[in-house]
Amino acid sequence: MDLYRRSIQVILENQAHSGAYVASPNFPSYTYCWLRDGSFIAHAMDRVGEHSSARAFFRWVDRTVRRYAWKVKKVLGKLEKGQSLDDSDYLHTRYTMEGKEAEGEWWNFQLDGYGTWLWALAEHVILTDDLAFLEEVGESVQTTMRYLAAVWELPNYDCWEEHPEYIHPYTLAALYAGLRAVETLAGRAGNAAAVRVDSRIADEILPFVLEHGVRDGRLVKHIVPPQRAEGTEGPLASAVDASLIGVATPYRVLHPDDPLMQATIAQIEAHLRRPGGGVYRYLGDTYYGGGEWVLLAAWLGWYYAEVGEEERARELLNWVEAQADDEGHLPEQVSTHLLATDRYAEWEARWGPVAKPLLWSHAMYLILHRALEPAGR
């Protein structure tokens, strides 16, 4: 089976008429669209030349953000008055295929997806050489930027939808990349003034990460909010997390060759990479027993492709390909070598088998494939 072609097919088959990508069609809790997953999926579609698919997603985000722009106005108003925000105030992290807020309890205050959609949108504009599209979605872009400028320093859930008590270097990297990318494009379009305030926020994020998100010469999983009392850091905060790959690849807060990034990757290899296998999210992961994540293996391979370590990148590509089932479906994670074997059953009883296919896994595979084959097919 040609997994490259099959992955494109899986993604296109699971894109709604609205433009939204379902996270996983066969996993009830994932039958929604996350901006995080969707933005990487759209970027993969751009990488393989399916620009119309990516554009349909960005237009879906545009409509969704404009639908809930009133919430951003409410957030800004409350903050100006010194009022506290509650969970109902924030923009959600997942939406229905129609762009409506999903019902039920969820860990909604997550920011990285909003930064990632700005970054992926900017990449789309560059790849299609269509600055006019930035103007088309300009209202939602400005709404997103105002929102992020107002709340970026607040503790929120990380990209794994955990630990709302912390601030997260990965999340900040996504915001930095999105804000900076849109600022650059707007400058090319002669509209730099529209993002002047938000560009200053991007200027604040990098020194914040370097001051608070580094320990022993490497990046850490979480940042304790500076205003919190000393001594409140849990053991996970200073740990390494595989999502930190994103600080360099693709967000470029640090260059992939930066010694700080190299030290972080070395920690990921030492503690989260199973020899000859995949990549764990972090030590202590108990979600479905803490398996090896397919998308993280592809992500690490993407990093290695960028720094010219092709052999390592291809080893990870081969491992990802080996995880596809007979239908060419890639799962969220592989349960052969779990970190917490005693925790798998409770999740299976709660939500069913591991999500498969996971469109984000297919997307990261495509991105890695293209990174290794820049001339394409």
Peptide bond into 357 cis (omega under 30): yes
Task: Name the nearest CA neighbour of 147 among 109, 106, 185.
Answer: 109
**What is the mean predicted confidence (pLDDT) over 104-113?**
94
User: Which of 62, 112, 123, 158 is flagged as catalytic?
Assistant: 158
User: What tokens does 8 get?
Assistant: 């494109």
**What is the mean predicted confidence (pLDDT) over 75-90?**
96
Q: pLDDT, tens digit, for every residue of 177-190?
A: 999 999 988 887 77
Q: pLDDT, tens digit, for every residue of 194-253?
A: 544 456 888 999 999 999 999 999 999 999 998 764 545 566 667 899 999 999 999 999
User: Facing residues of 21 across strands?
Assistant: 15
User: Which of 37, 112, 241, 332 is flagged as catalytic?
Assistant: 332
Q: pLDDT, tens digit, for every residue of 243-297?
A: 999 999 999 999 999 999 999 999 999 999 999 999 999 999 999 999 999 999 9
- Given this model, what pLDDT does residue 188 score? 79
- Over pLDDT 90: what percentage of the chain? 88
Kindly report the pTM of this predicted structure: 0.96
End-to-end CA distance of the chain, in Å?
16
Active site residue 89: no
Active site residue 158: yes
**What is the mean predicted confidence (pLDDT) over 81-105?**
95
β-pair type (214-215, 94-95): unpaired
Write down the domain spans for the chain.
3-372
Pick the CATH number of 3-372 from 1.50.10.10, 3.20.20.70, 2.40.30.170, 1.10.10.60: 1.50.10.10
Write the DSSP assignment of 150-183 as a string of letters: HHTTS--B-TTS--TTSB-HHHHHHHHHHHHHHH
Task: Name the nearest CA neighbour of 116 among 292, 297, 301, 364.
Answer: 364
Write the DSSP assignment of 347-365 as a string of letters: HHHHH-SPP-S-HHHHHHH
Q: pLDDT, tens digit, for every residue of 301-328?
A: 999 999 999 999 999 999 999 999 999 9
- Given this model, what pLDDT does residue 1 score? 87
Confidence of residue 51 (pLDDT cuts 50, 70, 90): very high
User: Which of 89, 98, 161, 348 is flagged as catalytic?
Assistant: 161
Q: In this model, does residue 352 exceed pLDDT 70?
A: yes
